[in-house]
Structure 1
Amino acid sequence: MEKTITTLQRVPLSDLVPDGRNIFIVGIIIAKQEPRKFNDTKSGDTRRERAVWNFTLRDSPICYINVTCWGLKDEIFGINNKFHVGDVVTVLNPQITIRKLNDHGENYRPKVTSPYALTINENVESNIFNHEGNCHVYHQLLRLPTKPIAGAYTLADVHNQKQRIDGVDLVGIVRYVGKVRTINVRDGTERQVREVIILDQTSPSLRVSIWDPDLIIRAGTWKVCNTVLFITDVRCEWSDFARSVTATLTSSTVVTEDPITVETENLRKYIQENPIRVRAILDKVAQSMSNLSAIQNVMNVQQVLDKIDNIIKSPNTNREEQQFTALLYGVVTHLDLDGFSRVVSTRCPRCDTVIVNSIICTNNECPVGLGEEQDEPVTSFDLVLMLSDQTGSLPNCRLNGHTAEMVLKCTVQEFLAFSDEEKTILKWKLLMERCAVRILVTWTGFGNPIISVLGCELASPVEVANRLPHS
């Protein structure tokens, strides 16, 4: 192969001409699509399967081009498995053609700057292989956006568009990376999908569905609260299941990780100043409310449940924007401090994974769990209690972290040093007692609402009689 290259001319994408011959091009793959197979009807042997594979190549900040590979199915699928986004490759003797802007296929490929398209066909002496020279300059191109990032939609704009919109550009920081799921699709086959949630300064969450196998793998390396994504040409539409607008990556999508832009730094700064994990949000809310008595909207349990139900069932409602607070005068009917329920949890401060029977994070998708970063686990209160009144019960109310220390009037370290008898005495200071409980009901983009206790103290009978709402 090296002997063959020495007889060819290396040409940058900016210097391509139609029907150029005896050339080779070096660039980095910035996007790729799944290969498609089809029967070879032209040869007359319909049992022979052929395939086509598309990828996008870039060799400079301003030049990128789409490449199409044709061949037998096994050969094309093998090439697809060999080359990935981020690989620097040499394309040998491609066919160079002028793009037809009205070509139907242009709608299903990434937008590029080159007026040409490249084709690798087994009928001519064209090929693709890994570049063996200096690749550093090409790797830097991965962080350069392929479209003006200033033209991206804000996530709030996306949520305000209730109808389907195609070709949307988004920029957001990763809030959550879901696990890979295998589902049955309409044609009866199984496919893998992965959900990622991103956020920006205008909205706390937007669900993004990823179906491409390569992108599914890449998403496993994205760091929560750190990786910024510029995602071009996605499809956004309302999801009845999620009760919000969701985004889906398409064959035209290019994902740029941590783009070198002002927007990237602004997003990271925003995350530093505005926590997004549930406990961090609640801690910040509690700390910002130096006077929790400011929460004076008294509700009973049934009114809280009715309001939650109305939000869930309301069409075209973005749940994440519907959080509310309330003051409940209820009895603490469940609080297990001295039994078998979890009272404290030890978590990775990086990814929030609960650490059990270990001193290190076990999440193999977390930089701490992978050993790439060092961070000490954090132990804090992690309680679940039930609140009840004459109208019903609110189970699974969360009492965590600093708020739990304020309510129990002891630190988590002090609690862990208590004897079983001391823990029982502490429990009965609240259990089956009428309390004034201030709660926050919020959605975090993960389904059911979270009911969190912001404050809890014993209530006097006179206060309860004067303020308790009727059922």
Structure 2
Amino acid sequence: FQKVLGVIIGKTDVRSFPDRKNVEINRFTFGFTIRDSPDFFINVTAWGTEAYINGLADSFSIGDCVTIESPLVSTKDPEKGDRFCPTTPSLYRLLVTETHSQVCLCADGDASDWLLPLLHLPVKDSRDFYSLGDVVANGQKLEGSVINILAALKQVGDVKQFVTSDGRRGQRLEVKLFDDSVSSFPLISWDREPIQLLQGLLPRETGRLESISDVYTVSQLKEKAKEHPQPFFGLTYSFISRLDLDSSVSKVIKTRCGRCRLLVTEDLQTCSNQLCPARDQPLSASTGFDLLVDFTDHTGTLQACSLRGPVAEQTLGCTTEEFTRLTDDQRTALKWRFLLERCKIHVKIVPCARTKSGIRALVLGCLLADPGEVKQHMAQLLQGP
């Protein structure tokens, strides 16, 4: 097994255990779950010295895209350690060791584009869950069981720090869930990464366009990305300072593999990406708007923001087929409808060390801004907290 590429969808804290051969020496370990397609994900366990494991655990987080080189493949043992790991569709798990393996952040921006959406896909069948009412009614029978819950987030508490009796530091976060059967139900998280993930969620919000209300300047988006390790959503009132609609059609409308999102030509029989989950299958490609746009306000410029697919069609007011029928003059006129105009832009910001700005931005919605609305929000931003 040479290489695995995927997005981290789960991760535990580092733990230590006495070595079986020498109880005076501790072995260190942590686990994570990696996903590379809607249907497949696998658990990974890392073992090694304290310095190696702590350094490896600090090098990536949930939501990062990573490449694992030379992992060892092992059959899962549901009676041992695997009973405490997330259920996966594979009969195997991967082992990462200091002497054999390497884990590094993915440097391929195109790979990240098709991997990151996998972070938000459920890992369980939508019918395979307990309601909160079921848990309340059958709590004693379920004690010690691992179950799935489908519920909404009602409230996020504060992180509590503590020290165990043997001197180890820990943390806990309690959130409140609700569904149509129970109005408030506590859920406690103990591991650092899930706690950070829960802290980034919005209670009673779904993540839709219309639910994004936090307004930022460009510089504030950049600063929050530096301080905030998880993806977040925001609204900015900025000018479109780059919109290359009058380039060749091939630079505006692109074809990508339907599985790995690599740029392809439609005459290919199979995807040329050796890491594509469907590389041995007939090519299934999708064609659509695929633009990189810049946004600018009085605080700076956010470069190379992805404007793609249906969002681009809604923004421009035309389909890809209609765009290809436009004359050069019509494309230039469409460009100047938006270029250097103040727009109301909903974005998803993903911290990314590989880009010059330190972030990657995905446009979730863009339309010409109402002047009165801009004046109101810009006044609030200039006044500060």
Please, what TM-score do these two structures have when normalized by structure 1? Answer: 0.42
Q: Which has the larger radius of gyration?
A: 1
Structure 2 residue ranges without an equivalent (≥5): 215-226, 237-385
Aligned counterpart, 2:127: 150
Letter in 2 for 1:121: T
User: Could you give the per-residue CA deviations for residues 21-76 of structure 1, whole angstroms, max 9, x where no partner exists?
Assistant: xx21101111111122134454x5x5544311211111111111111111111110
Mapped partners of 2:194, 2:93: distance in 1: 23
Per the alignment, in what secondary structure is the counterpart of residue 217 of structure 1? helix
Question: Is 1:121 the counterpart of 2:100 in the alignment?
Answer: no
Partner of 1:444: none
Verify the 8 A CA contact 2:162 2:169 in the aligned structure 1. Answer: yes
Task: Give the secondary-structure state (helix, strand or coil) at the position aligned to 2:147.
Answer: strand
The amino acid of 2:185's aligned partner reads: L
Q: Aligned partner of 2:104: which letter?
A: F
1-side partners of 2:74 and 2:172: how far apart? 35
C-alpha separation between the residues in 2 aligned to 1:163 and 1:185? 27
> What amino acid does structure 2 have at the position aligned with 1:130?
L
Contact 2:12/2:192 (<8 A) preserved? no
Change (3 A) 1:59 1:372: closer
Q: Aligned equivalents of 2:204 and 2:7: distance in 1?
A: 27
* Distance in 1 (alpha carbons) for counterparts of 2:200 and 2:117: 18
2:180 aligns with one of 190, 197, 201: 201
- 1:28 aligned partner: 7
Counterparts of 2:58 and 2:26, CA distance in 1: 18
Matches within 5 A, 1:220-231: 220-227=199-206
Distance 1:41 1:371 in 2: 47
Determine the structure 2 residue equivalent to 1:176.
155
Residue deviations 1:280-326 (CA, integer Å, cap 9, x gap): xxxxxxxxxxxxxxxxxxxxxxxxxxxxxxxxxxxxxxxxxxxxxxx
What secondary structure, in the 3-state scheme, does the structure 1 residue paired with 2:176 have? strand
Corresponding residue for residue 130 of structure 1: 105
Equivalent position to 1:64, from 22, 26, 41 = 41
**C-alpha offsets along residues 443-464 of structure 1, whole Å, 9 cap, x if unaligned?**
xxxxxxxxxxxxxxxxxxxxxx
Residue aligning to 1:354: none
State whether structure 2 residue 83 is matched by structure 1 residue 107: yes
SS at 1:67 equivalent: strand
Does the Cα contact within 8 Å between 2:12 and 2:31 map onto a contact in 1? yes
Kept in 1: contact 2:7–2:64 (CA 8 A): yes
Distance 1:202 1:129 in 2: 44
Task: In structure 2, give the amino acid aligned to 1:37.
Answer: S
Query: Is this contact kept in 1: 2:11–2:194, CA < 8 A?
Result: no
Flag the 1:140–1:37 CA change in 2: closer, same or farther, 3 A: same
Q: Which residue matches 2:30?
A: 53
* Residue type of the alignment partner of 1:131: C
Partner of 1:85: 62
8 A contact 2:19–2:25 mirrored in 1: yes
Q: Residue type matched to 2:107 in 1?
A: E
Match of 1:347 in 2: none
Amino acid corresponding to residue 30 of structure 2 in structure 1: W
Counterpart-to-counterpart distance in 2, 1:164 and 1:52: 32
Amino acid across the alignment from 1:216: I
In the alignment, the residues of structure 1 paired with residue 163 and residue 29 of structure 2 have an alpha-carbon distance, to the nearest angstrom, of 24
Whether contact under 8 Å (2:52, 2:98) holds in the other structure is no
Q: CA deviation at 1:372?
A: 3.7
Q: CA offset at residue 188 of structure 1?
A: 5.2
C-alpha change, 1:61 and 1:178, in structure 2 (3 Å) is same
- Equivalences for 1:72-471 in 2 at 5 Å? 72-101=49-78, 103-124=79-100, 126-133=101-108, 134=110, 135-163=112-140, 165=142, 166-185=145-164, 187=166, 189-227=168-206, 372=234
Instruction: Kindly tell me the number of residue pairs found equivalent between the two proteins.
Output: 217
Deviation at 1:189, TM superposition (A): 3.8
Q: CA, structure 1 residues 214+159, in 2 after alignment: closer, same or farther (shift >3 Å)?
A: same
1:150 is paired with a residue whose SS is coil
Amino acid at match of 1:127: Q
d(CA) in 1 for partners of 2:128, 2:20: 44
Query: CA 1:186–1:168 in 2, change beyond 3 Å: closer, same or farther?
Result: farther
Query: Under a length normalisation based on structure 2, what TM-score does the superposition of the two structures give?
Result: 0.51
The CA distance in 1 between the partners of 2:88 and 2:139, in whole Å, is 29
Please give the alpha-carbon distance, in whole angstroms, between the structure 2 residues aligned to 1:185 and 1:160: 32
- Return the structure number with greater relative CO, CA threshold 8 A, min gap 6: 2
CA RMSD of aligned residues (A): 3.1
Residues 39 and 162 from structure 1, CA distance in 2 versus in 1: closer, same or farther, beyond 3 angstroms? closer
